[in-house]
Each structure stands twice: as C-alpha cells, then as structure tokens.
Structure 1
Amino acid sequence: MFETDKGGLAALKTLTDTLADSVNGYRDAAQHVDSAEFKQMFTELGDERSQVLSDLDAELGRFGGAPADRDGTTMGTLHQRWLDFKASVTGNDDKAVINEVERGEGYLKEKFEAAIGSDTLEGDAGGIVERAFASVREGHDRVSALKHSLEGQPTG
C-alpha cells in the first residue's frame, strides 16, 4: 500500500500525532475563551477533529503503526502551555486565543500539504488522508475567517 516500507507509514504517523495535538489544542482553547459562541465552536471542531484522528488511527493500525498518543506530541504540549501562559497574562483574551489556534491550524495544514505532496501515500491511505485534509482545511479556514473578522476590534 505504501511506496516505501516505512515512508508512507512515517507520514501517516506524523499526521496522526499532529492531529492529536490539534484535538488537544481545540479543547484547551475552549477552556480559555470567554465567549460561549467560541467555546461551542472550539468544542465542535475538537470533536470533529477527534473523529478524523480515529479514522487515520485505524488506517495507521492496518499498516502496523501505533495509534497517536492522545496526549499529543511534545511540540503540541509546548504550544498548549504557551497558550495557557498567554491566557494567564492577557486574561483569557479571546482574540489572543484565536490567534494561537489559527497558528496551530496553519502548522497542521502545512503537515498535511507536505504529506499529500510527497506521494508516499497510496491507495486507501491517500484517500483517507485527503478526506482528513478536507476537514483540516475547513477548520483552518473557519478559524482564520474568525480571526480576520475580529481584527480591528478592541482587545479584551
């Protein structure tokens, strides 16, 4: 199913690990925003992303890979701790939280674009990654649009 014995598997593992970071990031963001609308949005996006992660984990398991650590990666944990710190300093400023979520979504989108562009995924794996990427792109675009809609509004 993969062009190389471990190349596609490694790409799939990277994507699942980064998706776990995204799930945790959305859940963390939901805890740090004041707006009930943003809390709901981040909770919904986290739930959707968790389903996407489950789908990719299943595909990874078919090839003998270990599922993503639901606690996320070290980089993801560091990003969440930075979000915690920033929230404590800014007082859970919704705009600051949204900016950090958008930054994380941009990173995730880049990981998917790199995996898709590398041609290491074939067959079912490629299709599943493409479907997951559609969700990632939608989440990124939604958070990015929210961020831009808040530009120019006072902080706090």
Structure 2
Amino acid sequence: MQSPRVRPSRDHRPTTPRFWHIGCVRVTESYLSSDPSLPLTQGIDNMSVDTNPPLTDEMVQRLQDLIQANIDSAEGYNDAAAHLGDSELSDHVVQLNRQRLKFASELQTFVQVGGVRPVKDGSWLAKLHGSWLDLKANLIGRDIAEILRDIRHVEKMLENAYDETLALMTPATSTELADRLRQHLDSIRRERERISGQPPHERLDDESS
C-alpha cells in the first residue's frame, strides 16, 4: 500500500513560494509530486548542519539549482525504471531514484531562509532538465544500451553542476556543506561509472503492443 502524498488540498495550496516543511526541511512542490511510495523524510530526520558563516546569495542559488537538478534526476530514474525490462537493472535505477531524493533533501537543510528562487533560463540546469524530458519522451522502443547512454550523458551534466558549485567554495565556506557536496559528487561519479559497465540488452517492448 502506497504512502499518502504529503501536500495540502488544492483549495488551500499557497501561491508562492511553493514549499512545505517536513521537520526543519523545506520541501518543494515538485519534490512532493514525485513517487508517493517513497518516504519523504528518508535521510533528513535529525540532520543538523552548520552554515556558519552564512551562505552567500550566489551559493544559495547554486544549492537551489542542485536541489532541483537532483529532483529532476530522481524523476528521470523513476520514468526509466518503468521501462527497463531487466529486473536487476531496474531495481538499481529505483535505488538511484531514492538516492537523488535523499541528496535533494540533504541540500534543503542548508537552505532554510527565504523563498525558493526560480532557476535561470539558459543555464546548465535548464539544459539538464530538458535532457531528462528528452529521455522520458524517447524511452519506448529503444535499446536499454541507448537509454543507459543517455543517462550517462545527463549524469555527466549533473557532475559538472556539482563541480561548478564546489569551484565557488572559499576557505570561509561551511566545511560541512563542502564535504556534503563532495560526498554527493563522489556517489554520482561512482554510479555513472557503474552504469557505464552495464552490458547491452535486448530492445524494450513498446507499451502499446
């Protein structure tokens, strides 16, 4: 039995910014709209962070972008899992979906002041979001090897996003935040390399057949 979605009714949904609190964590609407069977509090309970000195506006925006990028990644893996016929590979993709939601929730703890800012058009984030949408639109009837190739491509974009954020770090930046970003980046790289080692499989069946 699926867990109920944690969201207010449509009649009482706030306009802007669209976020709710789970414990001390800001959760965006798109995070709540992901797979309702996933535990929303996974990885965020009892998590405290040190943001002393305070984050700059630029770093806050970068974190917001990474949060949305991880949510996009999680949703992309959720879509891919539904189309992968290989059960072991599908299970692994589901695990990646959960991992990326966990990453998003962990970064949310570093952004607790102010509303959620919209991402900038034309940024790497917009391109990353578009790449996941392209992947979703082209899942049916494709080789699993082709799907994995596209996943590796968007994962590389996510790696670059983390690299760019880490490049903004200074000695004054929160050490805990820098360590958390490096942990995320290391995991993303390991998973991309693991996906790269997956052997090709047969073509996926068309859902319409």
Alpha-carbon distance between aligned partners in 2 of 1:76 and 1:31, rounded to the nearest angstrom:
21
Alpha-carbon distance between aligned partners in 2 of 1:77 and 1:117, rounded to the nearest angstrom:
22
Alpha-carbon distance between aligned partners in 2 of 1:144 and 1:3, rounded to the nearest angstrom:
39
**Is the contact made by 1:26 and 1:45 (CA closer than 8 Å) also made in structure 2?**
yes
- Partner residue of 2:144? 94
- Partner residue of 2:196? 144
Alpha-carbon distance between aligned partners in 1 of 2:136 and 2:158, rounded to the nearest angstrom:
20
CA RMSD after TM alignment: 2.7
- What code does the residue aligned with 2:80 have? A
Alpha-carbon distance between aligned partners in 2 of 1:56 and 1:82, rounded to the nearest angstrom:
26
1:47 aligns with 2:98: yes
Q: TM-score under structure 1 normalisation?
A: 0.77
More helix, by proportion? 1
Going from structure 1 to structure 2, the CA distance change for 1:2 and 1:139 (only over 3 Å counts) comes to farther
Could you list the runs of 5+ residues in structure 2 that have no partner in the other structure?
Answer: 1-51, 120-124, 204-209
1:58 maps to which of 72, 87, 109:
109
**Is the contact made by 2:69 and 2:128 (CA closer than 8 Å) also made in structure 1?**
yes
SS at match of 1:100: helix
Q: How many matched pairs?
A: 145
The CA deviation at 1:2 is 5.7
**Is the contact made by 1:17 and 1:68 (CA closer than 8 Å) also made in structure 2?**
no
- Partner residue of 2:71? 20
Could you list the runs of 5+ residues in structure 1 that have no partner in the other structure?
Answer: none
Alpha-carbon distance between aligned partners in 1 of 2:107 and 2:65, rounded to the nearest angstrom:
11
Going from structure 1 to structure 2, the CA distance change for 1:127 and 1:47 (only over 3 Å counts) comes to same
The CA deviation at 1:101 is 0.9
